[in-house]
Amino acid sequence: MKTSNAVGGFKYYTGIDSLADIATRSVRVCVLNILGGESSDVTPVGHAWSGGNVVFGTSPGRRGQVLDTPAGPIPVYNNVREGLEAGHRFNCGVVYLPPSAADDGVVELVRVNPDLNKIFIPTEKMSVHDAREIRALAQLNGIDIFGGNSLGVADAWNQVRIGGALGGDSPGDTLKKGSIAVLSNSGGFTTTIAQYLRMAGWGTTTLISSGKDVYIHYAAPEFAHALANDDRSKAAVLYCEPGGYYERDANFTKPVVACVVGRWKSKLTRAVGHAGAMAGGADDAASKERWFMEKFGVDALFTPQNPVVSKKGAVVVNIADIPAALTAVMRANGVQPDFAPEGTMELKPWFISTRGLQLPKELDLAPVEAPEPYREQIAALKQQVGTVLPRQTMKDTSGASQMDAKTQLTSLHGVSMLDAAQYPLEANVSLALLHEPGGVNDQRLINVAIGSGLNLHGHPALAAAQAAREAGNAPNSVLATAASILGPKSQEAARRAVQVLIEQFAAAGLADALDEGFDARGVRIDDTALFTGKEADPRAQAMLAGLQARSAKSVFVRYLQSLPGHPTEDAVLAAITATLAWGPLMRKRISRLTAESLPAWMRLFGALIGASVPAEQHTVDSFCGITMQDILEQRPISEVAFIALLGLPPNPADLFSFQVLVGLLLSNGPGTISAQGAKGAVSADGPEDPSRVQLNKALVGFLTHTGYAHGGNGYEGIAFLIEQFKDAGLQDPGNPDHGIDLHALAHRYVKAYASYKSTKKNTGSLDIQKIPGVNHPVFKDKPVNHDPREVFIAKLFAERGEYNVFHQFYRTLVQALFDAGVSRNVYCVNIDAVIAALLLKMLWQPYRSGAYSAAALETAAFTIFLYPRMIGCAAEIDDHLNRGRNMDTRTPASQCRFVA
C-alpha cells in the first residue's frame, strides 16, 4: 500500500493533512462523462468560479466536442488516456457516471493517471459491491475519495469548487469567506447551512458534502484531522444522519456544532433517501447524539429554550438552531462572528393568499419582497395577463375537445355536447373561445358583435360567395370563398385596439369588466386614432345603440364613449371583446393571444353566416328580411342564424331543435377530418410565431376538410326518410296522431332491403349500401344497442312533450330489421338519424308545399353542420395557436406507405 504520504495515523490511508489543501487553485480536474445531463449544467459554473480548473473531460465517441463555459471551452476526449496523450495533466477526477458505470470510471482514473490523488463521485445509488472495490483500489494507490452521492467540495477562501453543484448556480453569492468548515451528509443542506451561517454572521472556509451511502470515503475522522491543521478554520459544523460509526471515531480539537437528524429512522425497515441512513442499532441517531455530547462534555441538546453548550461544542437536532448554537459556542471561546448578521430566520412568504379565511395571527403573514433577481421576476409576473401555455406537438392532440371512447361523447372545454345542446348558440361561441358558456351579459355582447358582421352588402366577399354558389359549389366551398377574402388586414385595427385596451386596463388594475364604479383615470391611451375618428361612424353608432338597447354592460364601452371624438367600428368591437375576455383572462383560463383574436373571430362568424345565404338577402339595411336595427338591438344570433339557414320564421319548438343540433355538432374530437384541416392550417403557418397565423385561412382549412361524406352526409338520412314517407300522407311530423302505421312502413322497407341484400350477395357483390342512421362501430355488441346520444335526445324531447314521427320511425325500423332476421341484433339508432329527423321535422311542411326543393334541403343539411362545426373548429384553431409547434401535424415519411 502506498502509504508514504499517508497522514494522521489512521487505520486506512488518507492523504489530506489540512482542509486548506483540498480545493486549491492548483488542483487540476478531469471530468468523466462531462457532456452528461447533470455535468453539462453544473461543470461550467464550477469551472468558471474556480478560475478554470477543469483541464479536459471524457465522453465516449464525442472526441473533438467541447463543453462551453463562461471561462472558455473545455475539450472533450473519448477516454482519459487520449486526454493525457494530448498533453493535459490532472490530479483530480470527477466521476459523473450512472451507478452501473461509476466504478469503471474510478478504475480508469486510477489505472491511467499516476498523478491522481483525489476522486469525487457525485453518483447516487451506487451498489455497496462497487463501493467496496473502489475503496480498496483507492487505498492501494493512495488516493482520497469523496462520495458516493456527494455534491463535492467548495472552498470559500480559494474560490474553488470541485465535483458537484455546491453553492448552486452562483457559488460566489452563497459562499462568503469566514472561519467555519462544514461537513455534511446531505448535499443540498451543505449549501443551506452556509446560508444559515451567514444569517448569524459566520462565513465558511471549506465545505464538504460527504454523501450518506454505506461507504463514506471521506468522513468525520479524517475531516477532524484536516480541520485541526487548517489555520483558516476556527470551528466546524457537522450535519449527520444515522448509520455508520464515523463520527464516533473522530477526534475534534476545535469547537464543533453537530446537527444530528433522523431519530425517526429507528422505526424504519427500509432506507429512504440516504442509503446508509438507517439504524442497525448502535449507530442510530440517538447513539450519535450521545457520542457528540460525550465529546463536548454537555449533558443535553442545544435548543433556543435550553441553550446548552461547552467550549468544545454543542449538539442540535434542528438545522435552524445551528447558527445560534455556533455563536454561543464561539462566544464561550471568546470568538466573535466573522461579520455582521445578514438576515433573519423569519418566515418570508413570497406568495400568500388566505382567501379571506379566519386565520390565527401566526399564519396570516404578509407577503415579503424576495431578494433579487427573484423580486424582479415576481414583479414581471404581475404584468402577465392571462395564462401562458407550454408548447408541444399537437398532432392529433387537443386541449379543447376530448372524446370519451366508451360513451363516444365529446366534450368541449369540459362541457359535453349533450349539455352544449341545451345552450343557446351565443353561449357556445363563448364556450369555444372563452372556455366557459358565460352569462347573460356575455350573450348580449356576442349578439351585437356577431350581428354587426352579418350584412355583407356591397362587400366583395358576398359577390365571391354568390359566384361560387352559382357555379354549383357545395356550401363549404361557398363559405371558404368568402373566408379567403376576409384577410388579416381587415382585422388588424380591432386587434391592435384590443391589445392596447388589455395592456392599459390591466396596468390600471381592472378586476371586473362590469364594474360600474371603476375609475378609468389611470388608463393612458396614446394612439387615439385607434379608437376614435373625427367623423361619426354609423356602423359604430348602430352597434352602440344595440348594446344600449340590450342593456349590455361594459367598462370598456363606457370608457370608449368618454373619449373625445367618435368611436370607430373597430374600437367598439374591441371594447366588446375585451369585456368578454376580461374575466377568463383574470382567472387565467385563457391567454392574451386568445383574447386578442376575439375581434377577428366575431367578424368571421358573422361573415360566414352571412355568406351562407344568397346575395339578394343582403340589402343596405336588412339581412334575410330582418332590419339591421332589429338584429343589433333585439334578436339573438341563434334566431337570426335559424332564419338564415332555413328561411323560415322560427317558432319556439323549431328554435329549440335548432339549438340542440348546434350543440350536438360542435365537435367530435380532434380526430375528425374537419378538425384536422383546421389544425393543419395553423400548423402550416407556424403557431410559434402566432402573429403569422391566418385565422381566416384556418377556417378555410376546416371548410375544405368537410364534404359530402363528412358533414354533408346529413342529407343521406333526410333523403332516406323522404323516400319512406313520400306517399304516407304525413302532414305534421310533430303530431302523434298522424294516423300512419309506422310498423307497416318499416316492414315494407325491411322487405325491400332484405331482397336487395340477397340479390347483391347472389351476384357476388360485397358492396352493400348501408342504411343511413342505424348501427354504429362502437355501440353494436349487445342484443339491443343504444347510442347514448340518441337516448339522451329522445328523453330530452319527450320531457318537453314534443313528438317526432321520423325519430319514432327509426326506432321502429331497427326493431323491424331484427324481427325480420335482417340484423343479428337490434341496431342502435345513431346520432345521424337524430339529426336527420330533427331537421326534416322542421322542413317537412315547406318541402311538401314546394317552397323547399330537394337541393335546398341538401344545402340546409350541410350548412346546419357547418355553423356549429365552425365554432368548434375555431376552438381547435385557437387551441393549436396557443399550444402547437410549427409543422407539428406532419406525418414523418417513415410512417407513410406506398402502394403500387
Partner 1 sequence: MQITGMLHGARLLQLVGFPTAEVLGPDANDDEIKGLIERHKQVFIKPVFRGGVGKKGKAGLLGRVSDLKSALKEKERLYFAEHQHGNQYAKANGVTFEGGVPSEHEIYFSLTDSTEYRAPTMTLTHHGGMDIEELDNTQIARVPFNPLTGLKAFIVANALSELNAPKEIISPLVQHLPNLWDLFHDYGMTTLELNPIRLRADKRGRLTPVACDFKCGFDRDDPRWQRLDLPAHLFAADTSPFEQEINQLRTYQGQSDVYIINDKGTILAPTFGGGANSLVTQMLGDDAIISSDFGGNPPYEKMKSVASICFKHWLKQSNVLFIIGGKSNNTDIFETFRAMADALREHFGQYGPSPLYVVVGRGGPNLVRGMAVLRDTCEALGLPYASFGFDSAMSEVVDYARKVDAWMKAGGRAQIAARLNVNA
Which residues 81-140 are close enough to bind partner 1 by CB under 8 A?
A: 98-100, 124-130, 132-133, 135-137, 140
The three cell numbers of residue 274 are 440516504
Quick note: the x/- pattern for partner 1 over 461-500, rule CB under 8 A, is ----------------------------------------
Which of 4, 61, 231, 267 binds partner 1 (CB under 8 A)? It is 267
Q: What are phi and psi of 727, to 5 degrees?
A: -110, 15
Residues 495-514 that bind partner 1 (CB under 8 A): none
Q: Is residue 768 part of the contact set for partner 1 (CB under 8 A)? A: no
Q: Is residue 357 part of the contact set for partner 1 (CB under 8 A)? A: yes
Which of 187, 203, 687, 868 binds partner 1 (CB under 8 A)? It is 187
Residues 32-71 that bind partner 1 (CB under 8 A): 37-38, 41-42
Least Å distance between CB 27 and partner 1?
Answer: 21
Least Å distance between CB 248 and partner 1?
Answer: 8
* Window of 192-200, 506-514, 551-559, 630-638 that interacts with partner 1 by CB under 8 A: 192-200
Shorter beta-carbon distance to partner 1: residue 358 or 894: 358
Cβ-contact 6, 13 below 8 angstroms: yes
Shorter beta-carbon distance to partner 1: residue 356 or 472: 356
Residues 198-227 that bind partner 1 (CB under 8 A): 212, 214-217
- The residue with cell 339549438 is 659
Shorter beta-carbon distance to partner 1: residue 87 or 390: 390
Q: Is residue 273 part of the contact set for partner 1 (CB under 8 A)? A: yes
Which of 145, 158, 134 has its CA nearest to residue 53? 158
Could you report how far apart the first and last alpha carbons of the chain are, in Å? 74
Shorter beta-carbon distance to partner 1: residue 145 or 835: 145
Shorter beta-carbon distance to partner 1: residue 365 or 820: 365
Which of 7, 112, 228, 271 binds partner 1 (CB under 8 A)? It is 271
Burial of 107 (0-12, 13-18, 19+ CB in 10 A): middle
Q: Is residue 354 part of the contact set for partner 1 (CB under 8 A)? A: yes
Angle between the 425-434 and 652-665 helix axes, to the nearest 10 degrees? 20
Which of 26, 269, 765, 891 binds partner 1 (CB under 8 A)? It is 269
Which of 9, 231, 272, 306 binds partner 1 (CB under 8 A)? It is 272
Which of 134, 138, 128, 91 has its CA nearest to residue 113? 91
Shorter beta-carbon distance to partner 1: residue 264 or 708: 264
Torsion 232-237-241-246 (CA) sign: positive
Least Å distance between CB 435 and partner 1?
Answer: 11
Least Å distance between CB 273 and partner 1?
Answer: 3
Distance of CA 740 to the CA centre of its chain: 56
* DSSP state, residue 774: B
Least Å distance between CB 810 and partner 1?
Answer: 36
Shorter beta-carbon distance to partner 1: residue 323 or 647: 323
Q: How far is 575 from 555, CA to CA, in rounded Å?
A: 8
Least Å distance between CB 185 and partner 1?
Answer: 8
Q: Is residue 320 part of the contact set for partner 1 (CB under 8 A)? A: yes
Which of 359, 511, 752, 768 binds partner 1 (CB under 8 A)? It is 359
Q: How far is 323 from 196, CA to CA, in rounded Å?
A: 6
Q: Is residue 345 part of the contact set for partner 1 (CB under 8 A)? A: yes
Cβ-contact 155, 176 below 8 angstroms: no
Cβ-contact 668, 778 below 8 angstroms: no
Shorter beta-carbon distance to partner 1: residue 326 or 547: 326
Which of 245, 488, 686, 760 binds partner 1 (CB under 8 A)? It is 245
Cβ-contact 447, 635 below 8 angstroms: yes
Least Å distance between CB 639 and partner 1?
Answer: 35
Give 897's contacts (C-beta < 8 A, 6+ positions apart). Answer: none
Which of 3, 7, 12, 504 binds partner 1 (CB under 8 A)? It is 12
Give 666's contacts (C-beta < 8 A, 6+ positions apart). Answer: 410, 412, 417, 420, 428, 432, 868, 869, 871, 872
Give 227's contacts (C-beta < 8 A, 6+ positions apart). Answer: 19, 181, 233, 236, 252, 253, 254
> How many chain residues touch partner 1 (CB under 8 A)?
103
Q: Is residue 518 part of the contact set for partner 1 (CB under 8 A)? A: no
Q: Is residue 3 part of the contact set for partner 1 (CB under 8 A)? A: no
Distance of CA 295 to the CA centre of its chain: 55
Q: Is residue 302 part of the contact set for partner 1 (CB under 8 A)? A: no
Least Å distance between CB 888 and partner 1?
Answer: 18
The three cell numbers of residue 213 are 451511502
Q: Is residue 155 part of the contact set for partner 1 (CB under 8 A)? A: no
Which of 50, 59, 191, 476 binds partner 1 (CB under 8 A)? It is 191
Shorter beta-carbon distance to partner 1: residue 321 or 685: 321
Shorter beta-carbon distance to partner 1: residue 373 or 472: 373
Which of 355, 521, 534, 897 binds partner 1 (CB under 8 A)? It is 355
Q: How far is 94 from 122, CA to CA, in rounded Å?
A: 8
Beta-carbon count within 10 A of 841 CB? 23
Q: Is residue 784 part of the contact set for partner 1 (CB under 8 A)? A: no
Which of 271, 138, 267 has its CA nearest to residue 212? 271
Transcribe 405-432 into DSSP letters: TTT--EEETTEEHHHHTTS-HHHHHHHH
Least Å distance between CB 537 and partner 1?
Answer: 39
- Furthest C-alpha separation in the chain: 115
- Give Cα separations from 667 to 409, 432, 661, 670, 762 (angstroms): 10, 10, 11, 8, 41
Least Å distance between CB 298 and partner 1?
Answer: 20
Which of 86, 264, 487, 723 binds partner 1 (CB under 8 A)? It is 264
Least Å distance between CB 214 and partner 1?
Answer: 6
Burial of 767 (0-12, 13-18, 19+ CB in 10 A): exposed
Q: What are phi and psi of 883, to 5 degrees?
A: -110, -20
Q: Is residue 406 part of the contact set for partner 1 (CB under 8 A)? A: no
Least Å distance between CB 192 and partner 1?
Answer: 5
Q: Helix or strand or coil: residue 587?
A: coil
The three cell numbers of residue 83 are 486526454
Q: Which long-range contacts (CB under 8 A, 24 or more apart) does 792-795 make?
A: 792/418, 793/421, 793/660, 793/664, 793/834, 793/838
Quick note: the x/- pattern for partner 1 over 566-595, rule CB under 8 A, is ---------------------xxx------
Give 723's contacts (C-beta < 8 A, 6+ positions apart). Answer: none
Q: How far is 163 from 178, CA to CA, in rounded Å?
A: 22
Least Å distance between CB 184 and partner 1?
Answer: 8
Least Å distance between CB 121 and partner 1?
Answer: 14
Least Å distance between CB 116 and partner 1?
Answer: 18
Q: Is residue 352 part of the contact set for partner 1 (CB under 8 A)? A: yes
Which of 195, 402, 416, 484 binds partner 1 (CB under 8 A)? It is 195
Which of 339, 374, 708, 756 binds partner 1 (CB under 8 A)? It is 374
Which of 168, 614, 707, 788 binds partner 1 (CB under 8 A)? It is 168
Cα Rg, the chain, nearest whole Å: 39
Q: Which amino acid is at 412?
A: L
Which of 157, 202, 246, 656 binds partner 1 (CB under 8 A)? It is 246
Residues 589-600, buried b or exposed e (16+ Cβ, 10 A)? bbbbbbbbbbbb
The three cell numbers of residue 819 are 324481427
